[in-house]
Structure formats: C-alpha cells, structure tokens
C-alpha cells in the first residue's frame, strides 16, 4: 500500500513505475571497482606520515622564528575563541594550518565548547568517523587538534558528545551536503603555510 | 549474498575493513535506487551514473551512517541529493530547462499512437516540476511516509503534501485521456 489506492489512475501510474527494468548485470561490479579505486582513508595515511622518521634541519634562528610563529597562532586562536560569545554551549571555531611539511599542511582545528564532554573532528578526510579524531580540551573549554592534510578541499564538522554535528561558523558552509548534517569546507592550498580563520 | 544478514551487519563489516561486504548493500539497494533516479532524471544512463556516484559517496561516508540498520533510508537521502546536484549541473551546462525539454522531445518523438502505457507515463513525468516529481516518486512509488520524506528532503510536511497533490493533479490531466482509452 503506497497511499495511492484512493485514486485508481495514480495507483496505476505508481504500479507501473515500480516495474522499472532491473539494473544491468555488471552494475554491482562497476560500483565495487570504483570503491576499490578509492584511496585509503586519511587517518591511515596521516598515521603513516606521522610515524615516518624524518630529519628536519632547522637553524637556531629559524627554529626560534618557527616557535614564535606557532605560539602566535595558538594565542590568536585562543583569543578569538574566548572573545566569541558561547551562548547556550554554542561553539566558536578557529582553524589554521600551523606549519607545512612535505606535501601536508598541519591544520589546527580549534573549538570552544566548555560544556562538551567530548569533541571530535569528522570529515571526508577520515570517512566521517565520529571517534577517530578526538580533540584535546584545555582548562578554559578550548578544544584543539592538529591534523596533517594534503592539498585539497575537504568537508568537516565537529561532533559534540558523540552525537551532535556542528558546522564551523567561521568557515564556509558546504553546499549540497549529502549526509544531512551541517558541514563546513576547508581548502588546503598546495604549499600553504598559513591561512585565515575559516578559509583554510 | 545472504538475505538473512541485515544492512546493519553489512555496514559494520565494511567499517571493520571488509570492503567486499559493501557489494551486498549495493545488490540490495540498487533496484530501488535506479527506479528513483530514472524517474527523477528521465534518462537511464544518467540514472545509472547518479546511482553509482551515490554508492561511492555512501561508501566514503559510511561512518556517518548513524543507524546502520536503516542504511536504505540514509542511502536514499544521498541519492536524492545526487539527483538534485546532477540536475543542477545539467542546467548550468545546458542552460535552464534545456535538458528537460530535450528529454520531453525524446519522449514525444516516439511513434505516434504508441500504446505503451509506460512511455506515456515517462512523458508525463518529465513535464512535472522537479520538486513535485521528487515528492511524487518518494510518496507514491517508494511508499515513504511524509515524516520520512521531510527527513530526506529537508522540506516541511505541508509543503511536501502540496507538491504531491500538484503532481497528482498534473498527472491526471496529462494521463486521464490515455488511461480512459486503455481501460475503455
């Protein structure tokens, strides 16, 4: 019963439309071939990247400058977050790449949510996993996480307490979101070393 | 594929690394998906591409499927969005309404007096406004409740009811004569 029995004509139309020809026999194989061609998920690649031993040659002056730059980014992010009103547990977000290395850019996600018990980052870079990328909370309720990302355009959201998806209000919203959740867009440019809030 | 295995079990297998388990979900949901996409896009090849695209996106985003046992409903939402995006892309590429008109031309160019009831329906469907067509297919062909449709489309229930009513009214006008001839 599909609610069209009260109108014989509509019922006949609906019944005919339910008799569509079947999918071609190779359809499943085509889909699976496309699925198998997908690159491995980003957490796996990121983990590999993080574990790879590498030598980083930094001059004393360069190291001092890099440390100062990182500290400035963290301070600016924290200042922006604390300046933002967090009404009813709503969050403010600042995200910025902290450094670039090889082909990846280390993107720092920052999220102010003092009332949250857990916050994770989920996005198409980790298969929208709600648990794999937990953020760390400081005493003020500021949650942060560094994620190395190769150049590209990604959709992401923050997951509060394992259930609620929250888009980044400081970043562009994703258009045509497939999964019915509010999401934001982050773009990591090739060779990027820094970017403003919400427009990485 | 073991029909006794639920969607939820297959989803969990995929998430645990068994990529091939996804084939079971494809097999189980491809016919309904193709039926809906073909109705929405009016073109079989386009529908197959949209459906394949939706399955690949579903695979990539499978961890965001909150209720694995309701994979079908979750997947249909992805497919609805893929069909909308595909239509929008066609409009940008071909110009507003051009493609729908082309589909209409193809349908109308079939032999005059063609008794095939199915072709008459296809011709009528492509004449509907896209949102009305979407609502009609979800309600009367897929048999969804309005509450489910609201979750899928993001539209409010009164708006969906109005779309379905208008689609039915339009289809009656377009098909009544043909239907009378068939049943008469």
Task: Report, as an integer, the average pLDDT of A81-103.
Answer: 39
| CB of B71 closer than 8 Å to CB of B65 | yes
| CATH node for A59-188 | 2.60.40.10
pLDDT of residue A199: 29
B35-55 tens-digit pLDDT: 999 999 988 899 999 999 999
pLDDT of residue B33: 95
> Is B179 close to A10, i.e. CB distance below 8 A?
no
CA distance B35 to chain A (A): 6
Task: Report, as an integer, the average pLDDT of B62-72.
Answer: 89
Q: What is the DSSP string of A93-159?
A: EEEEEEEEETTEEEEEEEEE-TT-S-EEEEEGGGTT-SSSSBPEE-TTSEEEEEEEE-SEEEEEEEE
Higher pLDDT, A107 or B102: A107
Tell me if B1-96 shares its fold with B111-184: no
C-alpha A154/C-alpha A105 separation (Å) is 13
> Is A3 close to B143, i.e. CB distance below 8 A?
yes
Higher pLDDT, B92 or A104: A104
Listed range (A23-27, A171-175, B108-112) with the worst mean pLDDT: B108-112
pLDDT of residue A66: 53
> Is A35 close to B56, i.e. CB distance below 8 A?
yes
Listed range (A129-138, A151-160, B21-30, B110-119) with the worst mean pLDDT: B110-119
- Among A120, A122, A142, smallest CA distance to A76 is for A142
Nearest-CB residue to B56 (from A2, A27, A34): A34
**What value does the mean pLDDT of chain A take?**
68
Task: Report, as an integer, the average pLDDT of B134-141.
Answer: 96
pLDDT of residue A189: 77
Instruction: Please report which confidence band the pLDDT of residue B88 belongs to, taking 50, 70 and 90 as the band edges.
Output: confident
Which residue on chain A is closest to B61 by alpha carbon?
A127
Q: Is A178 on the interface with B (CB under 8 A)?
A: yes
pLDDT of residue A175: 64
Q: Which token pair is A41?
A: 């998920």
CA distance A56 to chain B (A): 34
Higher pLDDT, A132 or B102: A132
Element (H, E) at A184: strand A184-188
pLDDT at B112 over 90: no
Higher pLDDT, B6 or A43: B6
Q: How large is the ipTM? A: 0.80
Of chain A residues 100-119, which have a CB less than 8 A from chain B? none
A36-79 tens-digit pLDDT: 888 765 555 555 555 554 544 555 555 555 555 545 444 444 44
C-alpha B22/C-alpha A182 separation (Å) is 26
Yes or no: domain B111-184 corresponds to CATH 3.40.430.10? no
Domain spanning B1-96, CATH class: mainly alpha
C-alpha B23/C-alpha B145 separation (Å) is 28
Instruction: Please report which confidence band the pLDDT of residue A97 belongs to, taking 50, 70 and 90 as the band edges.
Output: very low
Question: Directed axis angle between helix B157-183 and helix B117-127, to 10°?
Answer: 150
Most distant pair of Cα atoms in chain A: their distance: 83
Which residue on chain B is closest to A29 by alpha carbon?
B23
| CB of A154 closer than 8 Å to CB of A184 | no
Nearest-CB residue to A9 (from B125, B139, B176): B176
pLDDT of residue A131: 79
SS3 for A200?
coil
pLDDT at A88 over 80: no
pLDDT at B168 over 90: yes
Burial class (CB in 10 A: 0-12, 13-18, 19+), A10: buried
- Among A156, A198, A159, smallest CA distance to A177 is for A156
Number of CB pairs < 8 Å for A and B?
126
Nearest-CB residue to A13 (from B23, B59, B171): B171
Higher pLDDT, A146 or B73: B73
Q: Which residues of B touch A175 (CB under 8 A)?
A: none
Q: Which token pair is B94?
A: 């071909």
Nearest-CB residue to B61 (from A1, A34, A124): A124
**What value does the mean pLDDT of chain B take?**
84
Task: Report, as an integer, the average pLDDT of B139-144.
Answer: 94
Mutate to test the interface with A, among B43, B47, B64, B164 (most CBs of A within 10 A): B64
- Among A176, A26, A31, smallest CA distance to B52 is for A31
> Is A17 close to B84, i.e. CB distance below 8 A?
no
B146-162 tens-digit pLDDT: 999 998 888 899 999 99
A135-178 tens-digit pLDDT: 988 888 888 888 888 888 888 888 888 878 888 766 777 765 55
Burial class (CB in 10 A: 0-12, 13-18, 19+), B29: buried
> Is B27 close to A28, i.e. CB distance below 8 A?
yes
Q: Which token pair is A58?
A: 């930094």
Nearest-CB residue to A122 (from B31, B64, B142): B64
CA distances to A63, A72, A79, A80, A142 from A68, in Å: 9, 6, 16, 18, 21
Nearest-CB residue to B19 (from A1, A35, A130): A35
Higher pLDDT, B102 or B80: B80
């Amino acid at each position: 019963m599909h609610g069209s029995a009260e109108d014989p004509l509509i019922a006949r139309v609906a019944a005919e439309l339910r008799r569509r020809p079947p999918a071609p026999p190779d359809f499943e194989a085509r889909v699976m071939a496309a699925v198998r061609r997908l690159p491995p998920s980003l957490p796996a690649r990121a983990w590999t990247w993080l574990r790879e031993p590498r030598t980083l040659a930094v001059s004393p002056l360069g190291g001092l400058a890099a440390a100062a730059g990182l500290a400035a980014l963290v301070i600016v992010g924290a200042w922006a977050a604390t300046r933002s009103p967090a009404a009813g547990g709503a969050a403010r977000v600042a995200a910025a790449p902290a450094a670039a290395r090889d082909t990846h850019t280390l993107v720092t996600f920052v999220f102010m949510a003092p009332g949250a018990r857990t916050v994770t980052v989920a996005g198409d870079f980790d298969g929208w996993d709600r648990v794999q990328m937990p953020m760390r909370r400081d005493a003020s309720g500021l949650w942060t996480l560094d994620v190395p990302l190769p150049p590209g355009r990604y959709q992401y959201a923050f997951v509060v307490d394992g259930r609620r998806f929250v888009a980044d209000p400081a970043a562009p919203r994703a258009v045509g979101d497939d999964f019915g959740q509010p999401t934001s867009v982050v773009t990591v440019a090739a060779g990027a070393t820094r970017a403003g809030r919400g427009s990485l | 594929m073991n029909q006794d295995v639920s969607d939820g079990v297959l989803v969990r297998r995929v998430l645990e690394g068994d990529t091939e388990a996804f084939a079971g979900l494809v097999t189980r949901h491809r016919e309904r998906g193709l039926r809906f996409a073909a109705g929405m896009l009016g073109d079989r090849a386009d529908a197959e591409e949209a459906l394949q695209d939706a399955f690949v996106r579903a695979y990539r985003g499978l961890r965001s499927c909150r209720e694995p046992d309701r994979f079908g409903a979750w997947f249909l939402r992805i497919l609805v969005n893929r069909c909308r995006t595909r239509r929008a892309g066609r409009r940008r590429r071909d110009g507003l309404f051009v493609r729908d008109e082309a589909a209409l031309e193809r349908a109308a160019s079939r032999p005059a007096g063609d008794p095939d009831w199915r072709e008459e329906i296809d011709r009528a469907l492509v004449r509907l406004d896209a949102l009305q067509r979407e609502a009609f297919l979800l309600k009367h062909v897929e048999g969804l409740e309005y509450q489910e449709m609201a979750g899928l489309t993001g539209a409010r229930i009164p708006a969906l009811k109005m779309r379905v009513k208008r689609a039915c009214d339009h289809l009656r006008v377009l098909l009544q004569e043909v239907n009378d001839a068939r049943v008469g």
